[in-house]
Structure 1
């Protein structure tokens, strides 16, 4: 095992099965998509139930509280994924999510929910997410060949965009027709579908020389994983790129766009066009990688894409019209979508299989744990200094992530593996 090189395909003449024609990969992808849609429908139902059961402040507490166990337990979830195997953990955590949501559905049918019941549900769901997310992210390298990892990440990114588009109207329709109970019920069914599909996914067992540290204590495994990342010539700068980019990107792309549309008088439609532009661009970038399967000089391209996307993000703050903001959002989506997909593919490629859960947990921690904490900071800064300076400053921070990646000669020269003949 090395912390200085890149994991490559094993020496074999057997052709690789293309990921888009591999039933095992498609089952994993379908399970992931169903879970993503279920997550979003759950959030819609939880939001509506919270708004109906308490004050605005209490509703805000319900929506925010789930992020706490998710952030606190995420690194531990990565250790558990590596210790017990990602397939076992992802099936167990998905089963718990399904059972919890269906139980809440039954409770809502027979009684009015108290605000503290919803808080408890959010806490449990956040804790289980800390197990589910690292495990589901660690599965691709165990279900496909190294030369297909780029295509799998593109397919995953495209599935995320499809799930985002489908989830909001589905959740809204369910809540409109049957209240929060119907929303939770739909989410529970989607988690059940995801569970059945995940149980049908086959994973490659680790070879004896890949089972690094699986007999150690959980604490030693966690420390060992962090040391592995720190000493890896590709992973360390790659995760730094992802973390810094998210810190600069998350606030403006979420709360910033909302405040921008409000200040400029564009209304909800203006916000929707801007966010929609981002979604279309990100979906197109993911589809490009899914079709091509590989992009040359991936290490350099992902860093340049982060820089270009950050510049477009700053431009949104200065957009004079909805159309200009939507075009800028499209550019943001294209660039950051490509950069993010390549970061995911490179992470899967260079990480030793025994460490994938822990490495994925570190990457996910910044995305769903730490980056959202910038939302109130960005909101307060916009209230103090205005839209343009904050978007410019945030874009600078995000671009610094790409610049740091370009400073690493090893990362710049990192390539995705080529598919063996037949893939």
Structure 2
């Protein structure tokens, strides 16, 4: 079967979205390393670092559904502009404080709370922006471009922040990160998009919030896949905790894990690139298989296998994840009404944001009792069974990509909203 020919998205609006999102993702990838170094240099306390990181995560978990409502009610480019601008100002404040030599953990914690809130508000805007600037037939390729850019940022981010810290210092690295967010905000905020009309009637904010949950519950294929994706993220947290420990203790040191991890990042990048070029006729079958292959590195680290085998397994796993993310976003953008898409996307992000930290926090304590191999094998069985188990659902096995001629993809009246 030949791969489908997928036209490229229109250049003007999408190019602007791609640049803005790439800058925002890159800036996001710079923060964890820089923030970790800032706290360690200031106090050397793991407890302080945990507090600052928790202060960013908790608002994300609480406010993501709120962000979904805002992105469905308001022009998404305005919401994205505000979120990136706030994050830029926060990073600038941290940078100035570090340059002045005044590092206050309370200040960093409060600023991290604001950052987490901005992440929660901005995250659900991505899919509405894609549907607003890219026609339906080109969204798979558009999501591939966005996923590839994200993969490049994940690979390059730690190296970039390392160079910045060494050459100009951690304070100036935050200032430059702030500049990236401000440029990203201006780029996305200036998008001219097609505004989808909401249904008639004046629904309140709380009603829209409740409706978001009802929309999720109404689509069995969606909420069952969310559970599968959550389990996948949980097991990813297990691997991120135990993988480095196994590499350090049994595979010769840090280099083993660094090689494995970088191979995985390259795999994810390639998976995102290949997704629209593969002959995928049943997208949810592809996403289920893409999730199941994450069992491979969990099993190889349980042995543990040599570094080359672990690296190959992680490459395949992350390649599957790259395909999964690209195809999944496209399916969501096709199957949800435009005025509910951001709310659906917010629950997708919520489960992912919550599950990985849970895996990170549980893996080491459980492994201390049962052993690393037991936890890794259990995680492999869990992610494999949950992903492949989705194939038992008829809609998962039969659902295809919609085409312009299919009745489910109804035209939606639209008006131009320039800013």
CA distances 1:229-259 after superposition (whole Å, capped 9, x unpaired): 1112432333233223223x32233112112
Residues 1:317 and 2:302 aligned together: yes
In structure 2, the partner of 1:245 is 232
**1:12-91 to 2 correspondences below 5 Å:** 18-20=7-9, 22-54=11-43, 55-91=45-81
Residue of structure 2 equivalent to 1:289: 275
Which residue does the alignment assign to 2:409? Answer: none
The answer (yes or no) to whether the contact 2:231–2:386 under 8 Å persists in 1 is: yes
Which deviates more from structure 2 when the two are superposed, residues 99-108 or residues 113-122? Answer: 99-108
1:154 is the counterpart of 2:134: no
Residue 109 of structure 1: how far off its partner (Å) = 2.4
Q: TM-score, normalised by structure 1?
A: 0.89
Asked if the contact 2:61–2:354 (Cα under 8 Å) also holds between the matched residues in 1, the reply is yes
- How many pairs align? 400
* Alpha-carbon distance in structure 1 between the residues aligned to 2:155 and 2:297: 23
Structure 1 residues 265-304: aligned runs within 5 Å? 265-290=251-276, 292=277, 295-304=280-289
Deviations 1:243-301 (A, max 9, x none): 23223x322331121122123143111111111121121111111024x2872211212
Contact 1:36-1:160 at 8 Å conserved across structures: yes
Q: CA deviation digits over 1:11-56, x for unaligned, max 9?
A: xxxxx99445522112111111111111122222211111122223
Root-mean-square deviation (CA, aligned residues, Å) is: 2.2
* CA–CA separation in structure 2 for the residues paired with 1:179 and 1:345: 40
Q: 1:100: which partner in 2?
A: 90
Deviations 1:170-190 (A, max 9, x none): 111112223221110111111
Partners of 1:81 and 1:344 in 2: CA distance: 16
| Residue pairs, 1:125-144, within 5 angstroms | 125-144=115-134
Measured in 1, the distance between the counterparts of 2:201 and 2:161 equals 41
Distance in 2 between residues matched to 1:17 and 1:397, nearest whole Å: 35
Q: Which moved more, 1:229-238 or 1:142-151?
A: 229-238
Q: How many Å separate the matches in 1 of 2:201 and 2:35?
A: 38
Q: Relative to structure 1, is the Cα distance of residues 313 and 339 closer, same or farther in structure 2, using a 3 angstrom cutoff?
A: farther
Q: 2:37 & 2:173 partners in 1: Cα distance?
A: 9
Secondary structure of 2:192's aligned partner: coil
Whole-Å separation in 1 of the counterparts to 2:113 and 2:344? 24
Retained in 2: the 8 A contact 1:314–1:395?
A: yes
Inter-partner Cα distance in structure 2 for 1:117 and 1:179: 20
Cα separation, 2, equivalents of 1:347 and 1:242: 14
**Could you say what secondary structure the match of 1:205 adopts?**
strand
Deviation readout 1:142-172 (Å, 9 max, x if unpaired)? 1111122211222122111100122111111
Q: Distance in 2 between matches of 1:381 and 1:411?
A: 34
Q: Taking structure 1 as reference, are residues 213 and 32 closer, same or farther at Cα in structure 2, changes over 3 Å only?
A: farther
Relative to 1, partners in 2 of residues 1:383 and 1:138: Cα closer, same or farther, differing over 3 Å?
Answer: farther
Classify 1:317/1:277 alpha carbon distance in 2 versus 1 (closer, same or farther; 3 Å): farther
* Alpha carbons of structure 1 residues 253 and 158: separation in structure 2 relative to 1, 3 Å: farther
Matches of 1:293 and 1:143, distance apart in 2: 24
Q: Which residue of 2 aligns with 1:367?
A: 352
TM-score (norm 2): 0.89
Instruction: Give the corresponding residue for 1:333.
Output: 318
Unaligned runs of 5+ in 1: 1-15
Q: CA deviation at 1:196?
A: 2.0
- Comparing 78-87 with 233-242, greater Cα deviation is found at 233-242
2:398 — aligned with what? 413
Q: Structure 2 stretches of 5 or more lacking a match? A: 406-419
Residues 383, 263 of structure 1: CA spacing in aligned structure 2 closer, same or farther, 3 A cutoff?
farther
Deviation at 1:312, TM superposition (A): 4.5
d(CA) in 1 for partners of 2:194, 2:279: 22
Shift of 1:118: 1.1
Q: CA deviation at 1:373?
A: 2.0
State whether residues 271 and 320 of structure 2, in contact with CA within 8 Å, keep that contact through their aligned partners in structure 1.
yes
Q: 2-side partners of 1:337 and 1:57: how far apart?
A: 34
| Structure 1 residue 200, shift from structure 2 partner | 2.9
